[in-house]
A and B are shown apart, each in its own frame.
Chain A
Amino acid sequence: MRVAYYKGCLASLSAKELDTSTKALAPKLGLELVELESVTCCGAGDIQQAEPDYYLHLNARILAYAEAEGCDTLLTICNVCTLNLRQANFQIQKDEALLERVNANLRSVGAPTYSGGIDVQHFLWLMSRGEGYEKLKEVAHHGLKGLKIAPFYGCQILRPSKLLGVDDPDKPHTLEAVITACGGEPIDYPAKIKCCGFPIIAAREELALSELIQPIEQAMEAGADAMVTPCPLCHLSLDAWQQKLSKQTGRTFDMPILHLSQLVGVAAGLTDSELKFKRHVVSMKPVLEKLDV
């Protein structure tokens, strides 16, 4: 399947490892990625909260560029991009007058216009269901050797479920399905659907940390070897800010955190240069040793 690939800000910059592992993995799962060069940030919820009309136009422009490539699916690898794009997409797909105004504006700046033909899909959804899931089971033959993996969903791939709609927001199962298909053992813990605190980590670090500590603590207690998340923002706070939890509590926090594409990538036998674990703040060594990689 040919899909437009929207990598978002973090995978372009501080989480390049997510981009390289996704690009290496996608063809194995039957996805041909079409890179979009002219697209911008989705606004991450911040622009929606500051200048919402600009947010709508930025996202419409991304959808328009995806459509201009002849694709009907826009692949996302970030929760926040997924919600922002899906929300904007619904807003213009289901309101002709609004779509018309947005298109007039896109036309006047020389961007392609949008006819409403794009479906925004997170990578997790494509690999955890239907044909993608069958491919995943074939591809993940290296396996995770029963490694205990704590799935961490984050917020904006579950809620508001009205706009996302794949997982049950209280009892999600897609990450568990992927972990199981890769030969890992999914760990259950209540905070897997809660917030990591990232959106306020720069402005209100203390508050964000008291949200961040819950999933990591619970995953540790449940005996997880590592955590996996479909969102690079969750990854950044879980991985990079974890050292601050150690400082704050005086206890050791060293839970390895994987991007979804890396977890599947390990099971699918991707190379070091594609996985780029060295870019993580918390060392991945204990996990790799258990796997004999």
Chain B
Amino acid sequence: MQVGLKVWRHETDTGKRALKEYEVDAPEEATLLDVLDIIKDKVDGSLSYRKSCRMMICGSCGMRMDGGAVLACKIRMYDFAQAGHVPVISPMGNLPVVKDLVVDMQPFWDKIRAVKPWLEPGYEGPQPGDKENIVSAGQMSTIHKESLCIQCGCCTSECNSMEANPDFLGPAALAKGMRFVGDARDNTKVERLEEYSEENGIWDCTRCYFCQERCPKGVDPRDAIAKLGAEAVKEGIDRNPGAKHAKWFVHSAKTTGWLRETELIPKTQGVINSLKDVKFAMTLAKHGKVPPPFPPHVAKDVKESRALHDIVKKQDVRGASGIVQGERALGRIEPHDDAYAAAAERGPYGPGSFPKPYLPGEKEGAETS
């Protein structure tokens, strides 16, 4: 079959970039990575991209297709060729571009390292006479999805929070964190949760769900971040604004049923900090955006929701297990995998680029033509 690709080429030395179109003959079963290989072999040997295993295990070939991050070895080109659609291929976002489709993964690895991606069993190796530490299947199921991560960076490429704040740990590193927080053999759970709860951690996720949408391995990094939040609250690590914000929702649900909106900001930021913003609050109040806290808006039969809270607490399905219990059911939903085929042309640096990849020598977040 004839397959076309438009590839954003980027020269490191000159900083020049251009969209080059290629058309090659490829076997019907060819993946995006196969097509890139054919182009490199037969048309232009200078085309640069990363690859290794070609079977969705190594995580090397993350790149963008029509603006969304994919593993090149996972995408079959047959439907595109049949539809006559020529997809635009560009480097991943949120990481500096080295050349063509190759990005500098160093910031990614720095964040993975920052969450201490190794087991801390809390003792100096097995001692003579120690018994085996058996981990049950149930215990491992808590971190089954997080263990699937191949560190390709597709989630990180699309993270809206990281685009706003390059220091945000991001979906890959936090999912890796959950992989160890949830591991029954790790003895540093509380320390980990305390570290991950700091600024740029768990509570800075803005729940855009791009990571969940793009992950080629079903890790569901956003769910992993929610699990970390639930574990942190369970362990009483809840003095930061993000956790306080979340706890206020719980408190609202069991006292009045509906969110007590007006008290939310002082409860999150503290009364003193929220007072600094009186002028803003007054503007909102003028337009009815600050409903009076008294009398509270109370849902009928709210005692049921309070009683539910008590019962659930007693049953002790706490922390991450509250999310894990629903994973089996969610796994039975058939995903809609036609998203890529329907995506239209998008340039990586102009309109449609989100988040924009950083280019060498360019100020982060600066506009480029």
Contacts and interface: CB of A to CB of B under 8 A. Distances in A.
B134 interface: no
Contact of A61 (B212, B222, B280, B308): B308
Nearest to A189: B351
B252 A111 contact: no
Contact of A46 (B168, B241, B245): B245
A159 B208 contact: yes
A156 B333 CA distance: 17
A17 to B, nearest CB: 8
A240 B161 CA distance: 20
A156 B287 CA distance: 26
A66 to B, nearest CB: 14
A108 B165 contact: no
Contacts of B243: 50
A211 B164 contact: yes
Contacts of B212: 159-160
A200 B204 contact: yes
Interface string A17-35: 0000000000000000000
Interface stretch (A8-16, A124-132, A139-147, A257-265): A8-16
A46 B326 contact: no
Contacts of B225: 49
A167 to B, nearest CB: 10
A48 interface: yes
A12 B288 CA distance: 12
B222 to A, nearest CB: 8
Interface string A90-113: 111111001001000110111100
Contacts of B246: 46-47, 49-50
B261 A9 contact: yes
A202 interface: yes
B249 A50 contact: yes
Contacts of A10: 259, 261
B304 to A, nearest CB: 4
B253 A203 contact: no
Interface residues of A, number: 81
A253 to B, nearest CB: 14
Interface residues of B, number: 96
A111 B225 CA distance: 31
Contacts of B346: 190
A189 B352 CA distance: 7
B322 A90 contact: no
A37 interface: yes
A243 interface: yes
Interface in A197-228: 197-200, 202-204, 207-208, 210-211
B366 interface: no
Interface stretch (A51-59, A176-184, A266-274): A51-59
Which among B206, B245, B320 has the greatest number of chain A C-beta atoms within 10 A? B206
A169 interface: yes
Contact of B343 (A52, A170, A281): A170
A49 B253 contact: no
Nearest to A45: B207
Contacts of A279: 287-289
Contact of A13 (B248, B249, B258): B258
A48 to B, nearest CB: 6
Interface string B342-364: 11101000011110000000000
B207 A156 contact: yes
Interface of B: 66-68, 160-161, 163-165, 168, 203-210, 212-213, 220, 222, 225-226, 229-230, 233, 240-250, 252-253, 257-259, 261, 264-265, 268-269, 280, 283-284, 287-291, 297, 299-305, 307-309, 311-313, 315, 317-318, 320-323, 325-326, 328-330, 332-333, 335-336, 338-340, 342-344, 346, 351-354
Given A54-B308, A160-B209, A278-B287, 17 more contacts: A10-B259, A12-B258, A48-B323, A52-B226, A56-B326, A87-B330, A95-B326, A98-B325, A108-B311, A159-B212, A160-B213, A207-B161, A208-B206, A211-B160, A279-B289, A280-B287, A281-B287
Top-7 shortest CB links A-B: A52-B322, A91-B326, A53-B322, A159-B209, A94-B329, A203-B241, A40-B257
